[in-house]
Every structure is written in structure tokens, then in C-alpha cells.
Amino acid sequence: MSVISHAQAWSHAGNEVGVLVLHGFTGSPTSVIPWGQSLSRNGWTIQVPLLPGHGTSWQDMNKTTWEDWYGEAERAFDELSATCSTVFVMGLSMGGSLTLRLAQQRGSKVAGIVLVNPAVHSERPDRFLLPALQAIVGSFPGVSNDIAKPGQDEGAYDRLPLKAAYSLTKLWSAVKRDIGKVTQPMLLFRSAQDHVVEPSNSAWILANVSSADITEVVLRDSFHVATLDHDAEEIFDGSAAFVRRIVAG
């Protein structure tokens, strides 16, 4: 199945500072391309990949696993690393989970990470039923477009593919198991009101990473997809300042 036009990957060729920007579960590059475009104005090289199973149909996503999504993130990271001397990774929601995994696996090759409403677990009451449900039910109603700002569309599925959701929980388990391996400078943005990812996610990450350089910013006027919301410029400007500070040493 062909990729929906608005869900295409995006990239920008720039200098030797590279930034990988990752979208969320069931979402698409649409949700983070404005972030990448803003960063590109600093002259940096940017990659915003489309993760496997996304940008087509939720049925396609049920044919993929977290290893597929991580594999594409890893591929894009390696592509940046081939031309850039310094590479940062940033992610929204599940993109934050993948960012943490790259930090764990690639160590000092990741110069720093920026997380926006990252997820490492769920408090949904039905989460305990997921292992059984995913074998017999294809999807649940979606969790897309949790955005306070009117007129925004993140380009996500309107259904939640359960086989893929079950695989997502395995990614979370891997990230949590190795959380102590995250040592890079970290900037974390968290929405005060998020109807998708509970605040306990950010709290757990902040309490368990081994990073010495940590900054948390609470977004007061945005919901989950904050990169398209009222506080987007705060994320964009804060991310750019973070990169400049780390590069300057």
C-alpha cells in the first residue's frame, strides 16, 4: 500500500551537526516535521523518517513490530552518523521511547536527547488484557489528535492496532530494563494536560536515567501532540538552544 501524501518522510541536508526526529505510535512525520524544519534553520542536517507500518493503514501496522520501528530509527541514525560528526536524537511519545533505546544502544555516539511526552508504560485499565485481546481483536478506537490548538491534524490512524500495541509494550520493557544506560544530556518536555501518556511516564524516566545533565520543561498550554500545539515554539526554541549548548561544549 502506498504512503499517504501527508505522511512522507522529510530530510534536510546541512552541516556536520545531525538531528534525528522520531514520530509517535500510529502517527506520522506530519506531527514532527515542523520541529525538524525549525531545527534545520540552524544549518543542521535533519532526518525525519516514516516508521514501518505507519502512514498507510492500521492493518499494515499490525504486521510490524517494535524491532521494525527501531530498525528504521537505527538506519536513519547511521545515515546521519555517516556524514555528521555530532548527532542528536529527539522524539515524540513512542518516538521518545525509540530515542531512549538509541541512547542505550549507541552510547556516546548520541550527543544528546530531547523527549516530548515520552512513553514507557500505560496506566490504561485494559492493559492487562492486551496479550489476550491482540490475538482476537484487530483494533480499538484510536488515540490520535490530542491537541489543544484548533485545526491541527497529526496524520495518525483513527484506530489503535492491537498487535502493534502489544509489541509496543515489549519496547517499553526493553527500555525500562536498560534505563540506567541512558547517560546523555537530556531535555524533557511534558504537557501538564496529556490525555494519552500519563505524567508518571516522565517522572519514571527522570528518576531512573543515569544522565547528569537533565532539564524538564512543563508545557502549560498543550496536550499530547505538543509539537503541533500552542507550545510548539517553546519546544523548537528549547531544542535548538539545547543542541547549541552541547555542541559548544
Catalytic residues: 93, 194, 224
Closest CA to 156 of 146, 165, 141, 144: 144
- Determine contact, residues 135/112, Cβ cutoff 8 Å: no
Count CB neighbours of 174 within 10 A. Answer: 18
Instruction: Indicate the Cα dihedral angle 140, 56, 230, 116, nearest 10°.
Output: 80
Closest CA to 195 of 45, 85, 93: 93
**Strand, coil or helix: 20:** strand
Q: To 10 degrees, what angle do helices 94-106 and 66-83 make?
A: 60
Greatest CA separation found in the chain? 53
- Determine contact, residues 119/201, Cβ cutoff 8 Å: yes
Closest CA to 139 of 1, 52, 26, 7: 26
